Amino acid sequence: MVRCVKQPAPATMAEIAEFDAIIDVRTPAEFELDRVPGAINFPVLDDAERVEVGTTYRQVSAFEARKRGAALVARNIAKHLLSEYFASRPRDWHPLIYCWRGGKRSGAMTHVLREIGWSAAQLEGGYQSYRRHVVAGLGTLPGQLSYRVVCGETGSGKSRLLHALAAAGAQVLDLEQLARHRGSLLGDVPNERQPSQKAFETGIWHALGRFDPARPVFIEAESRKIGELRVPETLLTAMWASPCVRLELPLDQRVGLLKEEYAHFFADPDGLCEKLDRLTSLHGKAVIAEWKALARSAQWDRFVAQLLSKHYDPAYRRSTGKHYARLGEAAVVACSDRGESGMAHAAQDALRAADPAEIPA
């Protein structure tokens, strides 16, 4: 006789930290779009199978779709259970399972795991419940923290300073790292795709929730969009009203830094010139032609210096001056060296300017 195990009440978002593992049983495409932080993907239907079941539902009947879906789900669950991951779980393992809406897919996996003897539970409302929780959190969390906005012209090393601040123990929210983009026309990260808007927001929400409200959060000054991704409005509003720290780096160091970080463009002058065409409406054909000539003749120092003085610096000053109300009273952190040692010293100065209590003993 098959032993029937009573299904527990679904778990809520407030209980999510109580579980040993979070298992996402949605398709790989759904998982890639966004997921609960730390979740592991064990799909009970893959992308093609989900389309097949949905097509059967629409074109044949719900009954036939359920039969086909059940067979596929049973096969996939069996395959997962034979994997090393499940085989090595102890008897007292306590996993949380979720799918799109907390329905049949997560219900099937939860039932099988509980029949085995593990204390598995479904997430109430599934991913949709989680997503509503993230959206609600982004409406309130940004306003519960204090920020120190790192400003500075392009190439001054703002991202490097954030990394140095994090290494020194400061609280840092690196939006460009979460967005996988450097936030400008040439900001694409080689061999990296930007995450979805939902995944970007999840990353921000997850980071904000881990910060101590009693300590400042260092964050780089950004515009409304980083590449194709939008910064949440509530976070922008909080940033624009926050104290600023202005990082200054000599021009030759800025040029050197940009040559290091954008070396992939210098290896492909034709691709770089294609991107420069997007600036024609701002600077005119003659200026763009001059920049292209410098790029194609590998005069990189002159090329970078001109791009900074004629495009990036004026644009940055206009943008930050327009949005960051406290920029005029910013504490200035002067750094003479773009290297690791120079940024480490700059981080200490930034900490001192933000809050002397932040300096490690």
Encode 60-82: b = buried (16+ Cβ within 10 Å), e = exposed: eeeeebeebbeebbeebbeebee
Tell me the β-bridge partners of 236: none
Question: CA-to-CA distance for 103 and 108, rounded, in angstroms?
Answer: 9
Q: Which of 99, 151, 244, 335 is catalytic?
A: 99
Phi first, then psi: give them for residue 145, nearest 5 degrees. Answer: -120, 160
φ/ψ region of 63 (left if φ > 0, alpha if ψ in -120 to 50, else beta) reads alpha
Single-letter code of the amino acid located at 345: H
123: number of Cβ within 10 Å? 29
> What would the DSSP string read from start to end of 27-44?
-HHHHHH---TT-EE--S
Phi first, then psi: give them for residue 110, nearest 5 degrees. Answer: -60, -45
* DSSP 8-state code for residue 88: T
* DSSP 8-state code for residue 220: E
- Is-catalytic flag, 244? no
Question: CA-to-CA distance for 351 and 208, rounded, in angstroms?
Answer: 19
SS3 of 21, please?
Answer: strand
Identify which of 249, 241, 134, 129 has the alpha carbon closest to the alpha carbon of residue 197.
134
Which sequence positions are flagged as catalytic?
99
